[in-house]
Amino acid sequence: MLTLFKKIFVWWNQDTIGTKIKTIFFGKFVGKDSFGNKYYENKKGERWIIYKDEIDASKIPVEWYSWMHHTPNKIEKKHELEKYKWQKPHKPNMTGTEQAYYPNKNKKDVVEKKYKTWKN
């Protein structure tokens, strides 16, 4: 029962019932990225994503990001873009996790304040 409730009302966990119905009746499958996200488009030109896991817009690779925003790219012709040797694989936003970027890795556990707090 809780799963059905979440499907109907909770949009931040996965696709809702409304999105599922829209995808079934009006969605044309366009492709799938390396994370397992599925991309759809309808006849009006609207585009949307069904995320594999947790919904996080930073999980969209750059080639699919440009497709989502109607930016001309090779993605319409070729779904697997060639990567250069120097390109790193796409990572979602890691802020707030153990894998977050710290400019000075030696002091990542110690945060130095550049200000003094008020004392009562």
What DSSP string runs through 72-95?
Answer: --GGGT-SSPPPPTTPPPP----T
* Residue 29 pLDDT: 94
Radius of gyration of the chain (CA): 20
- Residue 80 belongs to a domain: yes
pLDDT of residue 53: 78
Q: Does residue 64 belong to any structural domain of this protein?
A: yes
Q: Is residue 35 part of a domain?
A: yes
CA atoms 95, 97, 53, 73: torsion sign: positive
Sheet strands (E) in the chain: 28-32, 38-41, 47-50
The predicted pLDDT at position 21 comes to: 86
What's the pLDDT tens digit per position in 5-16?
666 666 666 677
Task: Find the domain containing 62 and state its range.
Answer: 29-93
**85 within domain boundaries:** yes
User: Is the residue at 52 inside a domain?
Assistant: yes
Residue 113 lies in a domain: no
Q: What is the pLDDT of residues 73-95, one digit of tens each?
A: 655 555 556 677 887 777 778 88
pLDDT at 100: 81
Are 80 and 87 in contact by the 8 Å Cβ rule? The answer is no
Structural domains of the chain, count:
1
Query: Closest Cα partner for 34 from 68, 69, 61?
Result: 61
Q: CA 114 to CA 94: how far, in whole Å?
A: 24
pTM: 0.61
Dihedral pair phi/psi, residue 48, rounded to 5°: -150, 170
Residues of the chain with pLDDT under 50: none
